[in-house]
Amino acid sequence: MGKISLDERLKREKEKLHRLVEEAIKNGIPIIQDEAVMTQNRKVDDLVVKIQKELGHYMRRK
């Protein structure tokens, strides 16, 4: 598989997070107590930080 952009990775990881949240809700599990949801949420957060840093670096170069 070729290199995918951070934006595409973020989109995919957010979709996965959404599915996990729906599953937890369907199963009556509070999302804050669902370790899979919390782990996926941290992945999404990390990607958002990377994108923000990348955008910040780009803006400073202009």
How many structural domains comprise the chain?
1
Quick: pLDDT tens for 1-31: 456 899 999 999 999 999 999 999 999 999 9
Residue 29: domain span = 6-61
pLDDT tens readout for residues 38-61 = 999 999 999 999 999 988 876 676
Q: Is residue 55 part of a domain?
A: yes
Q: What is the pTM of this model?
A: 0.82
Mean pLDDT of the chain: 91
Tokens of 23: 């599953």
Q: Is residue 1 part of a domain?
A: no
By the 8 A CB rule, do 15 and 53 touch?
A: no
- Looking at the domain assignment, is residue 20 inside a domain? yes
